[in-house]
Amino acid sequence: MSSFLDTNSERALILAPQGRDASVAAGILREGGLIAEICSDLQKLTQEINEGAGLAVLTDSVIRNADIRGLSAWINSQPPWSDFPFIRLTQRGAGLEHNPAASREMAALGNLVFLERPFHPTTFVSIVRTALRGRLRQYEARARLEALHASEAQARSAGDALRRLNENLEARVEERTAELAAANRQLVAQIEERQWVESTLQQLQRLEAIGQLTSGIAHDFNNLLTVVLGNIGFLEKANSISNDSKLRQRLFHMRLATERGAKLTSQLLAFSRRQRLQPKPFDVNKSLENIKDLLPSALGGGITIKTQFRPGIWPALADPTQIELIVLNLVINARDAMANEGTITIETSNAKVGPPERPEEPAAGDYVVIGVDDTGSGMTTEVLAKVFEPFFTTKEIGKGSGLGLSQVLGFAKQSGGGIRIKTRVGEGTSVKVYLPYAAEKSVLEGSALVTDPTHIERRSAVILLVDDDNAVREVTAAILEETGHVVLKVGSGGAALDLLDQHTKVDLVLLDFAMPGMSGVEVARQIQQRVPGLPILFVTGYADKAALGDVAQEGLIKKPFLDDELTTKVSAALMKDAPRFSDKIVVPLRR
């Protein structure tokens, strides 16, 4: 038991003057490992309780025939921490529901438990142990109160001593107090900084683990989508002969769902920051219209959403797959600032801005602007100064990661734009994301050079296909063979190098980036050493920004294959006179 208790404090006192009730009850408790003492009368019981006990066991006759005023007086005089437990052994049918006197006895004794006879010894021991456990908790509360009072007394004593010392040495004490306070502030600051660093490190480790898991899942899922989407293409071509309208409609829905899955995996990779951005011109108004209907379910019924998509918005030059994530981050921040009640306005506009005044603002130039305004609580100057710091948040613990605005800023800056925030405490906040403006002329020229397959001459070639996934390898080979190419299929980097040694006539290598054993990068280096100048295209469902940083966009084909990307890029790589691609077909790799 607890160290602050003596043996008396754990006793079970038994008052049962008639028959063998007292000795039987004491024997049961002692066999159960408890301390039991028998009292001869009510006066003796009250005396023993005063000396210390854990609980008392009484029989019907004690309460019914004795004067309990002395015991009641002791019960009523208990200190605030005490609620002494009593267990009354009653005859069958003598409980509260049949015995009005039992209610009066409960009012007199307070913490009273009725146990009808006959009872099992285990039941009796269990009830006594439960009552004793409650009493021990009361003793613990007493000890804490006594310790608190002692601490208060010690504090008062120390205060008195300090006041007495102040009378004689006030100046010296003030000087020493100031030194201690400064040292304490410095220590607190160091502790807080260490805690912040440790918390940040843990967040980064968790994010890294989530990123690795997410990218691995996305890679495997993209392989599955490649097989599904490739076979859908084959079925569509087969159906073009029979022209079954119902089958064509079903295939269309299958393709739509599969491409949606590809978009979801792209967003997963973007969240884990393992996908490099692919900026291209896009219509901001159209992108926001596509996600507008998804926002109410994320905000709750008390939030009103307004949109102001102005006509004549310039095309923006950024990665359109990230817009949904960026706007959702801003809208959720706005919702939290309004306590689930208010108005959020999403708007678009064109803007010409001057030189930046803050690091997060865009450089001077023309931009397409996405604005999210709220009628929430606004931000103080202190909060605004830290709002872009990773992991900084004003939300409760567990309600936010503090990464929302830092992700938005990272996307805007990486895209060549920036962010401006206007806020006022009690009135709301306006966040504007500036994306670079894409001139229409450059858009048209880029589309004609890169995406129009009519500008690319197609010719038959021998292609070495390397992919560890058998299903993906078969689908990819089938697509290429339909366009007239001869495909040599292998499932590993080592097999590819062996086959390349045997077949000197290989026009192009189509290489999976992520493979067990020898990775795509290692295989490509070996190929460059053996056959310098041989074109290499990477195929990947895992677009790691760092690992693929030196690979040109036209040297990379992402899984699943959308539209004619596979055949178009293969044909472009096989062109003998292709000034746009000639310096990038043999992919430069880090050494």
91-to-60, 109, 119 alpha-carbon distances in Å = 8, 19, 10
CB 14 within 8 Å of CB 26:
yes
- What residues make up the domain containing 86? 12-119
Q: What is the pLDDT of residues 492-546, one digit of tens each?
A: 888 888 888 887 688 899 988 878 878 788 888 888 888 888 898 988 876 555 5
Question: Is residue 428 located within the same domain as residue 331?
Answer: yes
**Closest C-alpha among 115, 132, 110 to residue 60:** 115
In a domain, residue 584? The reply is no
Question: Nearest-5° angle of CA 266, CA 270, CA 276?
Answer: 95
In a domain, residue 545? The reply is yes
What is the amino acid identity at position 226?
T
Total domains, the chain: 3
Which tokens go with 43? 């006066």
Which tokens go with 80? 């605030």
Question: Is residue 493 located within the same domain as residue 402?
Answer: no
Indicate the residue among 65, 89, 119 that finishes a domain: 119
pLDDT at 133: 92
459-to-150, 468, 481, 538, 577 alpha-carbon distances in Å = 94, 27, 12, 20, 13
pLDDT at 542: 66
In a domain, residue 136? The reply is no
pLDDT at 405: 76
323-to-214, 286, 329, 435 alpha-carbon distances in Å = 20, 11, 10, 11
CB atoms closer than 10 angstroms to residue 184: 10
CATH number at residue 554: 3.40.50.2300
Q: How far apart are CA 469 and CA 488, in angstroms?
A: 15
Indicate the residue among 70, 99, 119 that finishes a domain: 119
- Helix then strand then coil, in percent of the chain rounded to 5, is 50, 15, 30
Q: Tokens 């039991």 — which residue?
A: 36
Q: What is the pLDDT of residues 534-578, one digit of tens each?
A: 898 988 876 555 556 566 666 788 788 776 888 888 888 888 544
Q: Tokens 């108004």 — which residue?
A: 285
Question: Is residue 396 located within the same domain as residue 292?
Answer: yes
Q: How far apart are CA 296 and CA 529, in angstroms?
A: 57
Quick one: CA dihedral 201, 202, 207, 208, positive or negative? positive
In what order do the strands lie in the sheet containing 428-436? 303-309, 342-353, 365-374, 428-436, 418-424
Which tokens go with 301? 């019924």
CB 235 within 8 Å of CB 251:
yes
CATH number at residue 386: 3.30.565.10
Segment holding 490, helix H or strand E: strand 486-490
pLDDT at 439: 74
Pairing of strands 486-490, 303-309: unpaired
Question: Is residue 394 located within the same domain as residue 494?
Answer: no
Long-range CB contacts for residues 77-83, cutoff 8 Å, separation at least 24:
79/142, 81/138, 81/141, 81/142, 81/145, 82/138, 82/142, 83/110, 83/111, 83/134, 83/138
**Closest C-alpha among 304, 285, 297 to residue 369:** 285
In a domain, residue 206? The reply is no
In a domain, residue 427? The reply is yes
End-to-end CA distance of the chain: 69
Question: Is residue 293 located within the same domain as residue 376?
Answer: yes
pLDDT at 578: 40
- 3-state secondary structure string, 401-467? CCCHHHHHHHHHHHCCCEEEEEEECCCEEEEEEEEEECCHHHHHHHHHHHHCHHHCCCCCCEEEEEC
- pTM here is 0.42
Question: Is residue 469 located within the same domain as residue 406?
Answer: no
pLDDT at 583: 39
In a domain, residue 131? The reply is no
pLDDT at 55: 93
Question: Is residue 394 located within the same domain as residue 481?
Answer: no
Q: How far apart are CA 562 and CA 510, in angstroms?
A: 17
DSSP summary character for residue 555: G
Indicate the residue among 94, 119, 144 that finishes a domain: 119
Segment holding 36, helix H or strand E: strand 36-38
Question: Is residue 408 located within the same domain as residue 514?
Answer: no
Question: Is residue 359 located within the same domain as residue 489?
Answer: no
pLDDT at 13: 92
Half-sphere exposure of 105 (CA within 13 A, CB side): 25
Question: Is residue 302 located within the same domain as residue 425?
Answer: yes
In a domain, residue 62? The reply is yes
In a domain, residue 53? The reply is yes
Question: Is residue 409 located within the same domain as residue 481?
Answer: no
Question: Is residue 393 located within the same domain as residue 468?
Answer: no
**Closest C-alpha among 119, 558, 424 to residue 568:** 558
pLDDT at 349: 94
Per-residue tens of pLDDT for the chain, all 591 residues: 444 456 788 899 998 888 888 898 899 999 989 999 999 888 888 888 888 899 999 887 777 666 777 888 888 888 988 889 999 888 776 555 666 666 777 777 888 888 888 888 999 899 999 999 998 998 898 889 989 989 988 888 888 887 777 777 777 778 888 889 999 999 998 898 888 777 767 765 665 666 666 666 777 777 788 888 888 887 877 777 667 778 878 888 888 888 777 766 665 565 555 556 678 899 999 988 887 777 776 676 678 888 899 999 999 998 887 887 788 888 888 888 887 788 899 999 999 999 988 888 999 999 999 999 998 888 888 888 777 776 566 665 544 545 567 778 878 888 889 999 999 888 889 999 999 988 754 443 333 334 444 444 556 889 999 988 888 888 888 888 888 899 999 988 888 888 888 876 888 999 888 788 787 888 888 888 888 888 989 888 765 555 565 666 667 887 887 768 888 888 888 885 443 333 343 444 433
